[in-house]
Chain A
Amino acid sequence: MDTFDWIVTGAKAAFLVVILLHVVPIMAWVERRGSALIQNRLGPNRVGPLGIFQSLADAVKFIFKEDPVPGHVEPFYYVLAPLVSLVPAFMTFGVIPFASSIQLGDRMIHFQVADLNVGLLYVFSIASLGVYGIIMAGWASNNKYSMLGSLRSSSQMISYEISMGLSVIGIVMVFSSVKLGDIATQQGELLTHFGPLLLPEALQFPRWGVFVQPVGFLIFLVSVFAETNRLPFDLPEGESEIIAGYHLEYGSMKFAMFMMAEYLNMFTASGLLATLYLGGWQLFPGMGYVLHEVQAYFQMSALAGDWTRIVFEVVSFGIKVGFFMWFFVWVRWTLPRFRYDQLMDLGWKVMLPLSLANILITSVFIFFGWV
């Protein structure tokens, strides 16, 4: 690695961190306004236009609030726990590509912080570390409600991690790569088969993961809700049973860090869903035409044209991620929550067999060359 590589990698990492840090307050605002929209209320509307600065006010409040450490906790792990859940949340997005690549001189720059050849496995391994923050918080709080909440949360995360991992195997089999960059690139091709049927030219559509792996997509989507502890699977919290669960003893910025971790996990999950199943940075149908028109209208040089393409790809990826983020909010304020035994039954008796069957059927399809 020479200086240029260092600068490029640093710039990409900095860009990503800035985006990740901005996702949290924006999502907090979207969640409030979204819930108000769904429940026919107004939501925050006093601070700034449409209450957009409400999150800023909240951040100020979180930072300047008194930050006591209760007397009955294990101080070291109590302080460490929010960090342990926040850091993996920041780390996972590093392998997700947010645009394709650009040629600068004789160098190829990929818009992805780290193009690891273990790609997808990296996301799962780092995401599985997030559970320690929750276990640690529940244990260090020395409180029965916290402990129960953390046990619920971690067992739910472990159970759904299995079906989540298995559902992705279908995608890995179809695109025969675990590198997220490769998977996103291959989704730009056209789908020529629908099962054993050959599609006519007019009906061919992009080979997005959702079209080749619809069942895998569904399993992954449901598992992600359980992994991020979002409604309808937000069992770790329950006002009438275990109050606030694992973050019961936390206040001010330490509580905010748990909240940030939740939103960042949502963001990573949305990025992963978009990359695996909606073509990642691949342009929407029609955007390619607009891009050509723009390039032709301004008579751009090859380099400027390439940068315009990158901007279009980032926008396309952003729309897909934004859709899933909104989907999380939408589901939260629409569906009632599950009971804990129902959640476990769904995970082990429906999702797990379904994901195994999905692998089997996918391998049959691949054997006959239908995918």
Chain B
Amino acid sequence: MDISPLFFYGLAGLAIACSFWVVFNRNPVSSAFSLVLVFFSFAGIYALLDAHLIATLQILVYAGAIMVLFIFVIMLLNADIPSFDLARSHLFVKCIAGFISVLLFGLFTWVFQKSPNSRALGPFTVEAIEASGGNTQVLSELLFSEYILPFELTSILLLAAIVGAVALAKRKLAGGRF
């Protein structure tokens, strides 16, 4: 019995519904909570595609770390609710936003309809990955052999970001404004 379509439509529906809730909600914190649910349903879809590592990382990084930070920032900066109020925004802005959304939706539909249905499968089929020790092993081997340079460059970029954050925080502290 193959029940994966059931799960796919359930998770996809949840993701879409929660995305709408993120946009139309007037409370920033509850928008953020819905965004967590969006990430969670994406992770579910990845898991259905046998991409367990991506699914786990999606939860670990996006839902577990980045969104917690978002919620912290929203809570601590005490973002005022009126600035998120849809009714107060200008009619012109609303029209532009609606137009761009419809345009994007149309563009995506067009691209997916135009793209060929059957593509040649790459070397990383589900069976091939299973045979060589699972997602985690295959991905880490690639990361530390073929893609070692981009991988290390990314880590240097992240290090620069950390150093920058620390430097910025330090300077403010020395200025005596806090």
Contact = CB atoms under 8 A, between A and B. Distances in A.
Contacts of A125: 56-57, 59-60, 63-64
Given A125-B64, A154-B68, A178-B136, A132 B36 contact: yes
Contacts of B59: 125-126, 128-129
A117 B134 contact: yes
B84 interface: no
A74 B27 CA distance: 11
B60 A116 contact: no
Contacts of B56: 118, 121-122, 125
Contact of B64 (A129, A136, A151, A178): A129
B111 to A, nearest CB: 32
B60 A117 contact: no
B68 A131 contact: yes
Interface in A140-174: 147, 151, 154-155, 158
A268 to B, nearest CB: 16
Contact of B30 (A77, A131, A132): A77
A125 B46 CA distance: 15
A124 interface: yes
Contacts of A117: 52-53, 133-137
Q: How large is the interface on A (under 10, 10 to 19, 20 to 34, 35 or more residues)?
A: 20 to 34
Contacts of B72: 151, 154-155
B12 interface: no
Interface string B41-60: 00000000000110111011
Nearest to B58: A125
Contacts of B76: 151
B167 interface: no
Question: Looking at chain B's contact residues, is the secondary structure mostly helix, strand, loop, or mixed?
Answer: helix
A233 interface: no
A269 interface: no
Contacts of A126: 59
A139 B70 CA distance: 14
Given A117-B52, A118-B53, A128 B64 contact: yes
A330 to B, nearest CB: 30
A135 interface: yes
Interface residues of B, number: 26
Contacts of B29: 139
Interface string A60-94: 00000000000000100100000000000000000
Contact of B33 (A124, A132, A154, A155): A132
A129 B135 contact: no
Interface in A304-325: none
A310 B133 CA distance: 27
B71 interface: yes
A236 to B, nearest CB: 15
B75 interface: yes
A129 B64 CA distance: 6
A131 B137 CA distance: 29
Contacts of A135: 68, 71, 75
Contacts of A179: 134
Contacts of A131: 64, 68
Contacts of A124: 60, 64
A178 B76 CA distance: 37
Contacts of A155: 72
B65 A128 contact: yes
Nearest to A176: B137
Nearest to A130: B64
A128 B69 CA distance: 12
A118 to B, nearest CB: 5
Contacts of B133: 117
A281 B109 CA distance: 52
Contact of B52 (A118, A136, A147): A118
A122 B46 CA distance: 14
A155 B71 CA distance: 12
Contact of A128 (B63, B71, B75, B136): B63
B75 A139 contact: yes
A178 B65 CA distance: 21
| Among A1, A125, A136, A179, residue most surrounded by chain B Cβ atoms (within 10 Å) | A125
Task: Give the most central of A116, A117, A131, A151: most B CB within 10 Å.
Answer: A117
Nearest to B52: A118
B5 to A, nearest CB: 15
Contacts of A132: 33, 36, 68
Given A1-B1, A125-B64, A178-B136, 8 more contacts: A117-B52, A118-B55, A125-B59, A125-B63, A128-B68, A131-B68, A135-B75, A154-B68
What 5 pairs between A and B have smallest CB-CB spacing? A128-B64, A117-B134, A125-B60, A125-B59, A121-B56
13 contacts: A77-B33, A117-B53, A118-B56, A122-B56, A125-B56, A125-B59, A129-B40, A132-B68, A135-B71, A135-B75, A151-B75, A158-B65, A178-B136
Interface of A: 1, 74, 77, 116-118, 121-122, 124-126, 128-129, 131-132, 135-136, 139, 147, 151, 154-155, 158, 178-179
